[in-house]
Chains A and B, each alone.
Chain A
């Protein structure tokens, strides 16, 4: 559905090229919801944007505590941007805990809008504040706006007969209304959304509408704020856009892949943060013939996928790190059976349970090497929320063409982060269908391991096909016939064949692209979700008058064929990663290049400023 994107309300305002806003409150305060609304609104308004939700793993950590703080950061701009922004220019803090948890990300001069009603002694105690930060000079570097959000919301909803306790729950819409006024967003889409979302619950609908309007009116009349700001629509390539988060894009990419492969999509999965939304999304699309199922455990999900793949489906399972640990055994079988399958790993901070809702890139080695025996499989990584679509499609393409399990790496940041996505032309998606075996391929009947001479893929003969009955398993197979074989030379040949098949894919993937600049001596090379932060860092470095080159890896196994040659062109190579240097280790080992590693494992993405600083340091070195 397209919405009216005609200009915002007519008000005298100051133009900004971009702003980063963070809504922060208790996990029960509805911050993700208003963040989402503001994002949708800004997307539809035509801004470029990127978002960074951040929430606790607990559904409801103790209310009012720092552990229970949930926040949603959105970066909107009138030009092309690639990250959700370093720190917020505006922090909306619904309580002291939200202030405390987010203060460190603010740079001097930023604005802080606090809900003054929730700064009672009790609230301060819950947040472990010894003194009220609003009363000492600890916020002296910021522009602090004290807004009685709760009491105005209660006042505004009084006439509706809403009980104060219920009315209070609408205060997030007050905050949204205020921010919408500040950034001259049109009110209509929000009002329409509230009306349709809460159409069944009249009182909630009316309370939220009243709170939203009260927030806007407060901005306009309170004289607290000088004037609103305006951020013009960005000039993006022509086409139709939607706002997309990574997990949804993965689901769409898998559906598209299945359709273009002309296969039924079977998606068994076990719930795990932050991958569950892929299961949720796919479950809505059974009319595509998608069969989703919630398996009894992570192991079963992978095993069920193998059974589905053997039977001719496009089998996919999704998980996060702890689940990938458990799926390792089944992946080994899939490698040995040489059946197509995609495993999505939405990486999160580890080890063990780690920090389930925080992002990391620490599963690269696990994806590449985390199985016993020589067990090679292709690994693809998505670079941005919308790139999750293309990456999922690519994983499907490789899996079906080469009859191999493929791991698709995304992460918590991509999974939940949003950005505008130029909708692809569905009719232009490539046909990636494969032909099932239909007749015997050998004098002895059917040989399941008689390979295609070019791709080295084995035939895919699905049960139900007459004359092609065959038995396959995890025991080493005789080259060609697929019969059990413990013969030493055969095993070595099979190990090398499986490796050669995966390595051969490098001829079927694009060479790595370099964003080169004349005079650049430093190449920054990354993979996965660091793409945006690296790009933003590179832009800053260039804006500062330095030359720098960037390249980003989408295929981690096999690597693009030209990568060694590309790295050799630059005297210095820097590799930023949200782990302790896994890709850097790989590149150094494979190409004997003195790759410098730049690492961060805080559970939050790199910032452009961090990137810039490290790149400049490297240039000066």
Chain B
């Protein structure tokens, strides 16, 4: 497993050569490209990487990666990946899935992988729609969504994935989007650097069933006023001329304000490493959907004990304490008698 010489890798090393088969214009292409661009820079050889996915359009991604990969079952990718990480803590394990996969059918596995802090890099492609089943509303679709299964509008209240992840005790939580390769690459790199479970929400356009879902915030001319970049130790500020910012009210709740109104010194300074998740959670509540100023970047990055490392530690401690397993001794560990 030793890496004595630094490996020089290129994007090609991560391409499986399988024909990529998403719909033309799908946001998944740019996410795949960003991934394949950043992976060679991580210094990890492809055979030490495992991509695990569930079911859905995005879950086809492992087939396109020249790494180890499992295209598993709907919603179960975080669990399958947990099995990989537990068995081989030395591997670099990525989990790929969509909003339906991870927040609906697989919601339970996602939150438990996060709370256990398994060293998984979980990339959730959020297009706010079920694409592979041809256009039903998803757990992140806005209320009132008219789809094939909701001709009179959906009644369900959507999840805020960042809030869910922080609520599930995730140590690393970030959001990025498919229109900004550089931002994606940087976010993926940060997720990989983090020791423990990392959750990245990627806003992704489904141009067939939910086209333009993020236009209000991601159209080039909308971005300055609608994206709130989070930068560690910097005042949270946005707008073409930095005229907007985030301040905190008397209850400790962040709100979007005009810098001129509140004053530069009263802007909230972002701290990814705050052990208490309250402020990060509040930041995730600034926006109730991609129609208003929305934070992107790293919400939270704190260190916690890593699950599989602790599993290994218990095994080593047991060997230290009891010596390596002696089967004959265990079989005869109860009362025995000889005939």
Chain A positions within 8 Å of B, measured between CB atoms, are 1-3, 5, 40, 43-44, 46, 189, 235-244, 252, 255-256, 259, 264, 266, 268, 285-291, 293, 295-297, 299-300, 303-313, 315, 329-330, 332-333, 337, 423-424, 426, 462-475, 483-484
Interface size class of B (residues with CB under 8 A): 35 or more
Nearest A residue to B338 by beta-carbon distance?
A: A240
Q: How far is the CB of A574 from chain B (nearest CB, A)?
A: 34
Point out the residues of chain A lying under 8 angstroms from B330, CB to CB. Answer: 252, 255, 285
13 of the cross-chain contacts (CB-CB < 8 Å) are A1-B336, A241-B338, A242-B332, A243-B335, A287-B315, A288-B324, A288-B325, A293-B86, A300-B76, A300-B82, A311-B87, A463-B68, A472-B69
Chain A CB within 10 Å — which of B67, B84, B314, B317 has the most? B84
Indicate whether B46 reaches chain A with its CB closer than 8 angstroms.
Answer: yes
Residues B59-84 near A (CB distance < 8 A): 62-63, 65-73, 76, 79-84
Contact residues in A for B46 (Cβ distance below 8 Å): 469
- Assuming A296-B109, A307-B87, is B68 touching A469 (CB within 8 A)? yes
A421 nearest in chain B by CB position: B331
B334 at the interface (CB under 8 A from A): yes
A435 to B46, alpha carbons, bound, how many Å? 22
Q: Decide if B240 is an interface residue (CB 8 Å cutoff).
A: no
Q: Do A259 and B325 have beta carbons less than 8 Å apart?
A: yes
A145 to chain B, nearest CB (A): 30
The residue from B67, B88, B331 contacting A252, defined by CB atoms under 8 A apart:
B331
A466 CB, min distance to chain B CBs, angstroms: 5
Which residue of A236, A244, A337 is within 8 Å of B339 (Cβ)? A236
Do B108 and A297 have beta carbons less than 8 Å apart?
A: yes
Beyond the given pairs A235-B339, A426-B327, 10 more chain A to chain B contacts, judged by CB atoms under 8 angstroms and listed by A's residue number, are A46-B339, A264-B87, A286-B317, A287-B324, A290-B315, A303-B76, A307-B80, A307-B87, A464-B91, A473-B72
B80 and A287 form a contact (CB under 8 A):
no
Quick check: A44 and B337 within 8 Å, CB to CB?
yes
Interface status of B266 (Cβ within 8 A of chain A): no
Top-7 shortest CB links A-B = A307-B83, A473-B71, A288-B325, A303-B79, A471-B69, A286-B318, A311-B87
Given contacts A291-B315, A308-B84, A313-B87, contact A470 B68 (CB under 8 A): yes
Chain A residue nearest to B90 (CB atoms) is A464
Tell me the complex Cα distance, A396–B306, Å.
30
Query: CB distance B79 to A471 under 8 Å?
Result: no
CA distance A123 to B212 in the complex (A): 73
Q: How many angstroms between the C-alpha atoms of A424 and B331 in the bound complex?
A: 9
Query: Would you give the shortest CB distance from B121 to chain A, in whole angstroms?
Result: 15
Any A CB within 8 A of the CB of B50 = yes
B86 & A310 in contact (Cβ 8 Å cutoff): no
Of B45, B83, B325, B327, which is in contact with the most chain A CB atoms at under 10 Å from its CB? B83
What's the Cα separation between A236 and B337 when bound, in Å? 11
Min distance, Cβ B62 to any Cβ of chain A, angstroms: 5
Is B292 part of the binding interface, using a Cβ–Cβ cutoff of 8 Å? Answer: no
Given contacts A286-B315, A467-B47, contact A266 B87 (CB under 8 A): yes
Please, how many angstroms separate the alpha-carbon atoms of A296 and B110 in the complex?
10
| A43 engages B335 (CB within 8 Å) | yes
User: For B63, B69, B332, B334, which residue has the most chain A Cβ atoms within 10 angstroms?
Assistant: B334
Task: Judge whether B143 is part of the interface by a CB distance below 8 angstroms.
Answer: no
Chain A residues closer than 8 Å to B87, beta-carbon distance: 264, 266, 291, 307-308, 311-313
The answer to whether B83 touches A268, judged by C-beta atoms less than 8 angstroms apart, is yes
Chain B residues with CB under 8 A of A291:
86-87, 311, 315
Inter-chain contact B331/A46, CB cutoff 8 Å: no
Instruction: Please give me the residue from chain B that is nearest to A461 by CB atom.
Output: B68
Task: Indicate the member of A240, A289, A293, A296 with the most B CB atoms within 10 Å.
Answer: A296
**Is B16 positioned at the interface, with any CB of A under 8 Å from its CB?**
yes
A237 to B339: give the CA distance in the assembly, Å. Answer: 7
Tell whether B319 is near chain A: CB-to-CB under 8 Å: yes
Please indicate the chain B residues that have their CB under 8 angstroms from the CB of A466 in the complex.
Answer: 45, 47
